[in-house]
Amino acid sequence: MNRDNKTRDINDLKLEVIPRQEHGISRKDISENALKVLYRLNKAGYEAYLVGGGVRDLLLNKQPKDFDIATNATPEDVRKLFRNCRLVGRRFRLAHILFGRDVIEVATFRGHHGGEKGAKFASQSNDGMLLRDNVYGTIDEDAERRDFTVNALYYNIDDFSVRDYAGGMEDLENGVIRLIGDPETRYREDPVRMLRAVRFAAKLDMRINEATAAPIPGLAHLLRDIPAARLFEESLKLLQSGDGLATYQMLRDYNLFAPLFPILEEHFTEDRNSKCEQMLELVLRSTDERVANDQRINPAFMYAAMLWYPLETRAEEIAFESGLSYYDAFMVAANDILDEQVKSIAIPRRFTAMIRDIWQLQLRLSRRSGNRAYKLLEQPKFRAAFDFLEMRGQVEGGQLKELAKWWDSFQKAERDARHNMVQVLNKASNNKKVRRRKSKPRRKKPQPKQES
């Protein structure tokens, strides 16, 4: 069998210790705060390792976003060593060491959740999903509990070596994302691992090992059992980390996108070229570019764009069925769409409020006569609404594209030029009113009576 078809069986894990001179990790590339935590744990007599994505990214010559640490110290032990520590999590108990805005996450080595000890501190659902898992163990057990081989790499602060338990170094070199253990069992334990497989493959430009990928489409429905709050956080990692477009395309390939955004499914086509799908590609490509340029991004804008065409469809249906004006039907539809979406991804209220503002402004941007254009320009969410209007113009063209061009020119114009632009609109509007005004019917002149 081709090695790419294989999983990494837990029973076959074999430790390989890679000394400092044979790997490329340097302490100068590790955050100062992470080093403080590693050294203090080590000085106190505990094992301390940089682990997971931080090690993986350093070996790939990438700058890690986070530096996570694994240790044999319990969360309570860690709290005694660090006054700036807080314990978080019920499902997985973790210690967060706070250095201002920088948070170093410290996890105690995980043990196996079977047996008498595991039964006391772990809990699984009938489908095999882990509900609680505070079972502590050794570093060897912790490596067996890691999800992917490229994440089962440990940088030892004691001798600066890298400990590789699952052939992660080889998979990094070959560009392979491979699960440790039986894929179906691991996905049932935590269905979010399916999303992580896709995210790592897109982020690292790797391929998912065939055996790791095979069960995903059939188990994608398990994501519907994941708490919506957790999936909101995962959606940000998937779509707003700089590789959102590639991640979205891969999620579609593995049937993983629909459980996150079920409202969008009816707008999907085989050629992936519906207006909704064009908008998805536009907004995700734009988000990737902003991340690459270190520009600020707001999840509300992305969600507003993604859900726009389902909103339009729903508003038209409500207006037709209820007889409401389009504006009233639009506002009802906006509430419906957001209420449905937050059931799968719990978008916080601070973002849903902005989504509504962006949507509502789309209806107002075509009304520019009188003082309306000036007032719209002063709206706090005008810029976001205009950027979205431009995207809609790219998808739909025609009058919408011309409207976006007008607003672009109006923003950049000087005071007198703006006044002239509005005057042209006012004149055109008045001419239309004159043409539409009904003329009074002429009174017929009385016909003279004919003499008999």
Q: Which of 57, 68, 133, 288 is catalytic?
A: 68
C-alpha span between 297 and 94 (Å, rounded): 29
Q: Which of 29, 66, 77, 182 is catalytic?
A: 66
Instruction: Tell me if residue 57 is catalytic.
Output: no
CB 165 within 8 A of CB 152: yes
Q: Give a three-class secondary structure readout of the chain.
A: CCHHHCCECHHHCCCEEECHHHCCCCHHHCCHHHHHHHHHHHHCCCCEEEECHHHHHHHCCCCCCCCEEEECCCHHHHHHHCCCEEEECCCCCEEEEEECCEEEEEEECECCCCHHHHHHHEEECCCCCEEEECCECCHHHHHHHCCEHHHCEEEECCCCCEEECCCHHHHHHHCEECEECCHHHHHHHCCHHHHHHHHHHHHHCCEECHHHHCCHHHHHHHHHHCCHHHHHHHHHHHHCCCCHHHHHHHHHHCCCHHHHCHHHHHHCCCCCCCHHHHHHHHHHHHHHHHHHCCCCCCHHHHHHHHCHHHHHHHHHHHHHHHCCCHHHHHHHHHHHHHHHHCCCCCCCHHHHHHHHHHHHHHHHCCCCCCCHHHHHHCCCCHHHHHHHHHHHHHHHCHHHHHHHHHHHHHHHCCHHHHHHHHHHHHHHHHHHHHHHCCCCCCCCCCCCCCCC
Instruction: Tell me if residue 102 is catalytic.
Output: no
Instruction: Tell me if residue 66 is catalytic.
Output: yes
Q: Which of 147, 171, 190, 288 is catalytic?
A: 147
CB 222 within 8 A of CB 127: yes
Catalytic residues: 66, 68, 147
